[in-house]
């Protein structure tokens, strides 16, 4: 009986370790966004949110596989993204995008989505967020 329980424990451990290794690998491989789905078209990847060059500014950069139009919708309320940041370096379609948001408040939480060729991208249908003083 103890041998069967031990064997079951080992098998379960191997399954958990295998799934964990796969998820770690998947999340650290460029161009994979969701489980078993290869990054395609205008879906953003390699997203970075960093302090901008000026005080009270943030630089948001991302890549797309294809050349796409991109901008950022943002605001102080998760449900009201009423401001827009444009990709001023790439006025036409590009695969490398950079948006600088300026005149931000240091202690406020900002919410944003990336709009790439008229499709909004966040995290599981919700906006991403940042706090300037934490960058």
| pLDDT above 90 for 50 | yes
124 secondary structure, DSSP code: T
CB 39 within 8 A of CB 63: no
| pTM of the predicted protein model | 0.68
| pLDDT above 50 for 37 | no
Q: Domain limits of the chain?
A: 2-30, 34-134
- What confidence score (pLDDT) does residue 15 get? 54
CB 69 within 8 A of CB 116: yes
CB 62 within 8 A of CB 44: yes
CATH top-level class for 34-134?
A: mainly beta
- What confidence score (pLDDT) does residue 28 get? 40
| pLDDT above 50 for 130 | yes
């Amino acid at each position: 009986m103890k041998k069967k329980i031990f064997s079951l424990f080992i098998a379960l451990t191997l399954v958990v370790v295998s799934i964990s290794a796969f998820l770690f690998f998947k999340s650290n491989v460029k161009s994979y966004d969701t489980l078993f789905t290869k990054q395609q078209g205008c879906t953003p990847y390699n997203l970075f949110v960093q302090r901008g060059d000026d005080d009270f500014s943030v630089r948001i950069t991302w890549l797309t596989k294809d050349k796409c139009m991109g901008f950022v919708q943002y605001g102080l309320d998760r449900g009201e993204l009423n401001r827009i940041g444009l990709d001023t370096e790439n006025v036409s379609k590009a695969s490398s995008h950079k948006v600088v948001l300026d005149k931000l408040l240091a202690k406020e939480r900002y919410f944003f989505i990336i709009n790439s060729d008229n499709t909004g991208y966040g995290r599981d249908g919700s906006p991403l967020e940042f706090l300037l003083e934490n960058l």
